[in-house]
Amino acid sequence: MPEGIGYGASPAFQPSLAVPRGDQLAQQAQQINARQSEVVAETVQRQADFSSNRAESLARVAEQIEQRAQTDAGPGVGDVVDITV
């Protein structure tokens, strides 16, 4: 009963002879590299979008603070407290 454990006329695994094994590995490596490049590009794009949004938000906050500083030009601490020496 050696056929039951893989000694028969047809082996359990027969490699494809259409494409050499080295070429298959090279294709798989290229596909993996391409997918990794896509993932990295997507990650970098998300980070760039986040940074851009953050910069716009900070610019708006700075603009609001500047506007408040210009409109609140009322008496300052120096006008209320005598700080002469």
Mean pLDDT value of segment 12-25:
72
Average pLDDT in the chain: 81
Is the model's pLDDT at 5 over the cut of 60?
no
Q: What is the 8-class DSSP label of residue 2?
A: G
Quick one: pLDDT band at residue 68, thresholds 50, 70, 90?
Answer: confident
What pLDDT shows up at residue 58?
Answer: 96
Higher pLDDT: 47 or 17? It is 47
Mean pLDDT value of segment 31-48:
97
